[in-house]
C-alpha cells in the first residue's frame, strides 16, 4: 500500500495555493495555475515557493511601487516562481552535477529571457491592448527595447 500525505493549502499573499501528492510528484493548483512538479515533496514545494515568491515579489515591488496592481504583481511573481521551481527541479534529475541543486531563485535570473517572457506573457494575456507601460516599468526597459523583445518572443513562441 502506497502512503499518501495529506494535501496542503497555504497562501502566497492573496493567492490560495493547493498542493497534493500525485504520481511521484506534486500537483499544485491555484485559481489560475495548474502545475505538476515531478520528484517533489509537499514540504519542499511549500518552503521553496514561499521563499522564491518573497524574493521575486520584493524585487519587483521595489521597481514598480504602486504602478502595478498588487493582484497582478502577485500573479506574475507566482508564475515566475513556478517556472523556475519546475526548471531547477527538472535539472536535478537531468544532470548529475545538479542532483543536489538548491532550488532558491537566483538573482541573475531576473535578467533571464524566461523571466522577461513570463512578465510580458502575463501582461499581454491580461491586458492585450495596454501591457507595454507596465512591462517597461517591471523590466526597466525602454519602449523600443520592449518592442524588440516582444517581436523576439513572438518568433520564439511560434516556432
pLDDT tens, 34-57? Answer: 999 998 999 999 999 999 999 999
Contact predicate 131/143, CB 8 Å: no
Give the 3-state secondary structure of residue 5.
coil
What does the pLDDT look like over 9-39, one tens digit per residue?
A: 999 999 999 999 998 899 999 999 999 999 8
Contact predicate 88/99, CB 8 Å: no
- For cell 524574493, the residue is 55
- For cell 542532483, the residue is 99
Quote the pLDDT of residue 73. 95
Q: Is the dihedral of CA 50, 139, 32, 21 positive or negative?
A: negative
- CA proximity to 105, closest of 147, 67, 27, 49: 49
State the pTM of this model.
0.89
What does the pLDDT look like over 97-148, one tens digit per residue?
A: 988 888 999 999 999 999 999 999 999 999 999 999 999 999 999 999 999 9
Amino acid at each position: 500500500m502506497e502512503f499518501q500525505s495529506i494535501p496542503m493549502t497555504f497562501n502566497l499573499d492573496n493567492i490560495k495555493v493547493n498542493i497534493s501528492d500525485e504520481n511521484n510528484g506534486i500537483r499544485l493548483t491555484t485559481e489560475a495555475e495548474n502545475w505538476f512538479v515531478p520528484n517533489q515533496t509537499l514540504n519542499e514545494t511549500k518552503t521553496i515557493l514561499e521563499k522564491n515568491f518573497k524574493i521575486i515579489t520584493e524585487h519587483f515591488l521595489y521597481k514598480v511601487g504602486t504602478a502595478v496592481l498588487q493582484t497582478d504583481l502577485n500573479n506574475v511573481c507566482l508564475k515566475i516562481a513556478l517556472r523556475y521551481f519546475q526548471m531547477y527541479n527538472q535539472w536535478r534529475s537531468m544532470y548529475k552535477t545538479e542532483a543536489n541543486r538548491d532550488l532558491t531563485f537566483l538573482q541573475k535570473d531576473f535578467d533571464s529571457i524566461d523571466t522577461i517572457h513570463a512578465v510580458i506573457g502575463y501582461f499581454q494575456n491580461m491586458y492585450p491592448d495596454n501591457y507595454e507601460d507596465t512591462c517597461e516599468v517591471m523590466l526597466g526597459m525602454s519602449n523600443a527595447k520592449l518592442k524588440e523583445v516582444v517581436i523576439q518572443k513572438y518568433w520564439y513562441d511560434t516556432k
